[in-house]
Chain A
Amino acid sequence: MIWNTLLLSLRAILRNLMRSFLTILGIVIGVAAVITMVTLGNGATRAVSDQIASMGANQLMVVPGQMMGPGSEGAQSFKIADVNAIRSQITSARAVAPVVNKSETVIFQARNWSTSIVGTSNDYFLVGGWTLAGGRTFSELEERAGRAVCVIGETVREKLFQRENPVGGEIRIRTFSCQVIGLLKAKGQAAMGQDQDDTVIMPLRTVQRRITGTKDIKRIVVSIKDGASIDSAKSRLVQLLRERRRLGPSEDDDFRVMDTRQLAETVTGTTKILTMLLGAVAAVSLLVGGIGIMNIMLVSVTERTREIGTRLAIGALENEVLLQFLIEAVMLSGLGGLIGILLGNGASVALSGVMGVPYVFDSSINLMAFFFSAFIGVLFGFFPARRAARLNPIDALRYE
């Protein structure tokens, strides 16, 4: 019976090619739109989280104050003693680096460029996952004495040195000149669009003495040893800093410890919402496709009802007629779904190339779109037929 009915369905589809084509078209567009939107959104999310991961995994960042940004101004800054305490007491810390930063104009010969000056220690390169493209990092003496030496990022090299070798060159910042001892390997755009390579890194003491003029440290970055628990390192860090800042049990933390994962979650959260929005818009088009199918089915219902009447009159069982129409609906919307999946993924590959985000195949959205299209096909293709098949054969035959 199934085989026979399959044959009947196939004949009905081929017999009504235009109707079949229109039915499929609605589903194809809907499915392709949903898949393209969600896949691109996922790609954008992936791009962002990849960039955050490139900042260095297992990273903790400690900032004074409870809020990021302007609210932190009032809170007590860290001192170098805090950094040393963390280094000696948090055993799972692989590297601990103090950070002060300030925006300054740097000059080389006739060229100048405004960039971010970072004062820190050699640990900073470890925490941030930086490698050198040339030259060397700071010597112990340079760090201790606060010598005017720096390691520069790729963007600064490009803007100031162009074709020249920067290592050994002298750049001017404010009133002092500073020797370039190393060049960082390029990292590219960071998560929120800022250029990570647009930086000049100096020993902490150099920046404190010559630029900021205080012994304050604005932030401490810590990287945790592979395999060690970030959460326990975090709670030990919080405990340690509370003790050092003499906070009573009833007082809130006046600093914040964030890990890379949290940062990634915050940022990717936004792109995920965007993905959902895009997906929802596309889902509407899938729905419109479904309504298109319903329309086509309803328009053809007069003809189909007479056809059903004829089939019933020559001895088809109600269930055979229903099965035929069910198979027909499932085949059409299934085919539409498949074409939609191919088209959607094709468009995703092409567009993600244009947008510069990775193409991330998401099997769940593909499956969901497919089954939803099958469901819509059944709903809108099958139910008008069911109504007809339940008629008295003679009423179906006479249907106007």
Chain B
Amino acid sequence: MTEQPLLRLRGVTKTYGAGPASFLALKGIDLDIEQGEFVAVMGPSGSGKSTMMNILGCLDTPSTGSYTFQGVHVETLTRDQRALLRRYQLGFVFQGFNLLSRTTALENVELPLIYRHEPKARRRIAALEALEKVGLHGWENHTPAELSGGQQQRVAIARAIVSKPSVLLADEPTGNLDSKTSREIMELITGINRQSITVLMVSHEPDMAAYAGRIIHFVDGCVDSDVLNPEAPR
């Protein structure tokens, strides 16, 4: 088991739809991701980046092939087991933030801990800490509508890391943000990676991908290139 990487994809395909209208979005992906890596996934729109991220995040299942998470075959797990994997091991950041509306930043960040059945006091402390970490001290009681895009993404990141996951998955986390805010978010994610949380991030902007230690290029449902990035900030 010890020689197993944290995440391993073998021959993973994903077909959307059925019959003549079906579409092969992933055409057999082999990928190993080690504990502590910071991986950026790049590629043109429609090349299957999100599809792979959703599979890695256990939000979706591969059509064929195998996905092992710390040696566990995810494709054999039930719906609820995958939910528990998400609950205890994974954190998500989406392009569209996906915060609960009319709900304060603090409550949004507390949500994963509620599902972890953490007691109220611990929840409160951990959520405040996570918000502090993403630089939102003082904004705890604001609802998403009262926050800027960058601040909303910070809340989403706080929500993703509040449960101390082993993997943070971010699908175009800076896609809706201006370049200055994007860089701030990237600094934040880099900082999270330094605390030995494995980070997988999709971005089509080279500037953002440059923060990662390893860059994977997708073309047309296949891995086109997979290179280390020695210039990454450490």
Contacts and interface: CB of A to CB of B under 8 A. Distances in A.
Question: Is A bound to B?
Answer: yes
A314 interface: yes
Given A15-B103, A397-B94, A313 B86 contact: yes
A4 B120 CA distance: 10
Interface string B73-103: 0000001100110111010101000111111
B88 A315 contact: yes
A319 B107 CA distance: 21
Given A15-B102, A316-B83, A393 B88 contact: no
A307 interface: yes
Contact of A320 (B86, B100, B115): B115
Interface string B127-161: 00000000000000000000000000000000100
Contacts of A16: 102
A8 interface: yes
Interface in A296-339: 303, 306-307, 309-320
Nearest to B90: A315
A336 B191 CA distance: 50
Given A314-B115, A316-B115, A303 B60 contact: no
Contact of B114 (A4, A310, A312, A392): A4
A309 B98 contact: yes
A126 B99 CA distance: 82
A16 B101 CA distance: 10
Nearest to B104: A15
B157 to A, nearest CB: 13
A156 B102 CA distance: 74
Contacts, number: 68
Interface residues of B, number: 29
B152 to A, nearest CB: 13
A394 interface: yes
B100 A310 contact: yes
Contacts of B114: 4, 7-8
A11 interface: yes
Interface in A1-59: 1, 4, 7-8, 11, 15-16
B117 to A, nearest CB: 6
Contacts of A307: 100
Contacts of A315: 83-84, 86-88, 90, 112, 115-116, 163
Contacts of B35: none
A313 B107 CA distance: 16
Given A314-B159, A315-B83, A1 B107 contact: no
A15 B88 CA distance: 27
A25 to B, nearest CB: 20
Nearest to A5: B114
B103 A314 contact: no
A320 B114 CA distance: 11
Most buried by A among B88, B102, B159: B102
Given A320-B115, A397-B98, A11 B107 contact: yes
A319 B84 CA distance: 12
Nearest to A319: B80
A68 B57 CA distance: 85
Nearest to B92: A313
Contacts of A8: 114
A314 B117 contact: no
B117 A1 contact: yes
What 10 A-B pairs come out closest when comparing CB atoms?
Answer: A315-B87, A394-B59, A315-B86, A314-B112, A393-B59, A15-B102, A310-B98, A394-B60, A394-B54, A317-B83
Interface of A: 1, 4, 7-8, 11, 15-16, 303, 306-307, 309-320, 392-394, 397
Interface of B: 54, 57, 59-60, 79-80, 83-84, 86-88, 90, 92, 94, 98-103, 107, 111-112, 114-117, 159, 163
Given A11-B107, A313-B57, 19 more contacts: A1-B117, A8-B114, A15-B100, A15-B103, A303-B101, A306-B98, A311-B115, A312-B83, A314-B92, A314-B112, A315-B84, A315-B86, A315-B87, A315-B116, A317-B80, A318-B80, A392-B60, A393-B60, A394-B59
18 contacts: A4-B115, A7-B114, A8-B114, A11-B103, A310-B99, A311-B115, A313-B57, A314-B115, A314-B159, A315-B84, A315-B87, A315-B88, A315-B116, A316-B115, A317-B83, A318-B79, A318-B80, A393-B59
